[in-house]
A = this chain, B = another copy of it.
Amino acid sequence: MRHSGICAVLTASELQRLAQSARHTRHDAGAPLLFENSAITSYANVVEGVVKLSRVLRDGKQQLVGLQFAPDLLGRLFGDENLLNVEAASDVDLCRVPRNVLEELVASSTELKQRLLDQSLQDLDDARDWMVTLGRKDAQQRVASLLLLIAKRSGADAADTGTSFDLPLSRSDMADFLGLTIETVSRQISKLRHEGVIEVANHRRVTVPDMARLAHRAG
């Protein structure tokens, strides 16, 4: 899930145009950012933290369909309807831009349009990658895949003792992303821990001594 944020795709003059109307906002973990089927009134850049995109079935079950790390762009361009629930997974900093301003910019910049196309194609690739995970991997491989994804995208610091990072998701969120139950996620994490593939502190801080070994578990 490597996206380029708004800032990365704008020229200096465009950025200036944007700065006039952009506003920073802060949100606590769990805060809803948009509701399913609501009209989109603004777009946003993820400045800090992780945002989760989800859909819910009629029976109440939930499935996360995407995670947005900084500096990803948030919000679906040119769609009138938002098909997703958008929530802060961790504490989040956003840089909001009114919809019409951004679309104005997009209309005037063919370069920008090109970059947005690239990004949506990247998102599509990511979504299809995850379809493989959901359709063909067992619980162990799914959990390993998620840890790998998080390690890659949240600036995990590498040391001699291994790579460390904080989980931006609760067990419940992880389960909803992996198509599993909380209990199964917990069991698989415990298994990886007992086998020395990962170390866990306070249920949230993860250390990976050997990334290749984790990758191997991911299938």
Give the B-binding residues of A (Cβ under 8 A): 53, 55, 57-59, 61-63, 65-66, 76-79, 83-84, 110, 113-114, 116-118, 120-121, 123-125, 127-132, 134-137, 176, 178-179, 219
The reply to whether B117 and A63 form a contact with Cβ atoms under 8 Å apart is no
Known A-B contacts A131-B130, A135-B178; the reply to A120 vs B124 at CB < 8 A is yes
Copies of this protein, total: 2
Contacts of A77 in B (CB 8 A): 117, 121
Bound together, the chains give a CA A55 to CA B131 distance in angstroms of: 10
The reply to whether A57 and B121 form a contact with Cβ atoms under 8 Å apart is no
Quote the shortest CB–CB distance from A207 to chain B (angstroms).
Answer: 26
Sample of 15 further A-B pairs with CB below 8 A, known A53-B128, A63-B136, A120-B124: A57-B132, A59-B219, A63-B132, A63-B135, A65-B132, A76-B121, A77-B117, A77-B121, A78-B117, A78-B118, A113-B114, A113-B117, A120-B121, A127-B131, A131-B134
Bound together, the chains give a CA A45 to CA B77 distance in angstroms of: 25
Bound together, the chains give a CA A118 to CA B76 distance in angstroms of: 10
